[in-house]
Amino acid sequence: MFDVLIAGGGPAGLAAATALAQRNVSVAVVDPAAGLAAPRAELLAQGAEPVAHRLGLEHALARAVKIDAVESHWGAAGLQSHGAHPGLGLHGWGISRKHLSIAMVQRVSDLGVRIIEARITNAQKTARGWFVKTGTGSDTATLHARYVIDATGRPAHIARRQSATVLHGPDLVAVLWRTPRPKSNVMQAEAVAEGWWYSVPHQAGGTVAFVTSSGTAKQVSGSSSAFLAQARDTLNLIDVRHATGPTRLMDCRSAVLDQASGPGWHATGDAAAAFDPISSQGLFNALSGGFFAGHAAADALAGDEDAPKVFEALASRTAERTHSTTHLQYAALPFDTAFWRHRARGGLDRLANTAVPA
């Protein structure tokens, strides 16, 4: 029996595992793909240094590209260049998700965390603790734990089985390509009529993405080369000349759980609140939220029953603030089109909690 079972081994789950192992709590991370993150670059927002230090990830930051400026071409507002905030010195880091994932798995393994490569298919809370089932058919196993942290990302696999509901913002999908390392350490963003583009540099290959509605994203992925050829001629700032596939489509709507903790569990990272990539806060939130989620579970097991509620309240205030700032970027209406008008209205619509298979 484990003290804590962490469902999901992304940045949030592995940060929680690090915090728990540092407090000598027995912990297992269950993920079918822990350490196998896609090789895409993301911006880790400035301010992440102290938490990276707590997590023993200084070497991962040292390998990342320091982003010293952000350039944006935002419709009528034209080209703007933003230096770093005074006193902070940089905007953040262009970090490879693959490198980060490998570094975090190595760190938790060194701390004695058990990593179980499996998908959770069911989880039951009983008076004797949690019984968590992995796999299907003849390949199933049951794990027993006193406490569960849901770090499964957007699926919020555990929370939704505990009757929590995911509230979603307007439909938003990113289409991703890889690029060679750009010549400068600048992140770029550009608005177009049907969405917006961004590029994040990284020495192992940067990422360029088009963020748009799901309908447009499907059309784009069906004719990627023709779409890139057209974009090459019309974009003002983002250089897609050397972008290569395969393209990937990723749901990137804002989302938040209406209830992110309950007896014997709480959620963290994207499972609790997922942010539109325009905010560049998801990764920072996963690392810092995951770290404190681990401490909240350790406190709860030590008898402090309020700890998960306190954690949930802080996380939900952070989510509220981030969602409202995100909304303002769309409300600037760089283009007066359906895409921008729809997202400028904001709001997280309540969706029925029906998508969880039995």
**Geometric angle at alpha carbon 26, from 25 and 32, rounded to 5°:** 125
Both tokens of 215, joined, read 């309908």
Minimum distance between the CB of residue 218 and ligand FAD, rounded to whole angstroms?
Answer: 15
Does residue 297 contact residue 130 with C-beta atoms inside 8 Å? no
Alpha-carbon Rg of the chain, whole angstroms? 20
- Between residue 137 and residue 196, which ones bind ligand FAD under the rule CB under 6 A? 151-153, 155, 157, 174
Q: Does 281 bind ligand FAD (CB under 6 A)?
A: yes
Contact range with ligand FAD by CB under 6 A, out of 5-13, 107-115, 228-236, 291-299 = 5-13
Give CA–CA dist 168/196, Å, rounded.
20
Q: Does 270 bind ligand FAD (CB under 6 A)?
A: yes
Residue 83 burial class via C-beta count within 10 angstroms: exposed 0-12, middle 13-18, buried 19 and up = exposed
Nearer to ligand FAD, 50 or 303 (CB): 50
Give CA–CA dist 130/6, Å, rounded.
12
Minimum distance between the CB of residue 332 and ligand FAD, rounded to whole angstroms?
Answer: 20
Helix (H) or strand (E) holding 105: helix 97-110
Q: Which of 74, 196, 227, 284 binds ligand FAD (CB under 6 A)?
A: 284
Contact range with ligand FAD by CB under 6 A, out of 30-38, 78-86, 312-320, 329-337 = 30-38
Residues 6+ apart with CB under 8 A from 336: none
Minimum distance between the CB of residue 285 and ligand FAD, rounded to whole angstroms?
Answer: 6
Nearer to ligand FAD, 55 or 174 (CB): 174
Nearer to ligand FAD, 56 or 155 (CB): 155
Give, in order, the Cα–Cα distances in Å from 55 to each of 181, 225, 280, 340.
27, 41, 20, 38
Q: Does 217 bind ligand FAD (CB under 6 A)?
A: no
Give CA–CA dist 26/266, Å, rounded.
17
Q: Does 282 bind ligand FAD (CB under 6 A)?
A: yes
Residues 6+ apart with CB under 8 A from 301: 3, 4, 25, 146, 147
What are the DSSP E strand ranges found in 55-128? 65-67, 69-73, 79-83, 92-96, 114-116, 120-126
Nearer to ligand FAD, 163 or 304 (CB): 163
Does residue 185 contact residue 42 with C-beta atoms inside 8 Å? no
Contact range with ligand FAD by CB under 6 A, out of 68-76, 137-145, 282-290, 320-328 = 282-290
Q: Strand, coil or helix: what is 128?
A: coil
Nearer to ligand FAD, 271 or 298 (CB): 271
Nearer to ligand FAD, 221 or 305 (CB): 221
Nearer to ligand FAD, 332 or 356 (CB): 356
Q: Does 286 bind ligand FAD (CB under 6 A)?
A: yes
Nearer to ligand FAD, 119 or 309 (CB): 119
Q: Which residues bind ligand FAD (CB under 6 A)?
A: 7-13, 30-33, 42-43, 45, 119-120, 151-153, 155, 157, 174, 200, 209, 250, 252, 269-271, 277, 280-284, 286
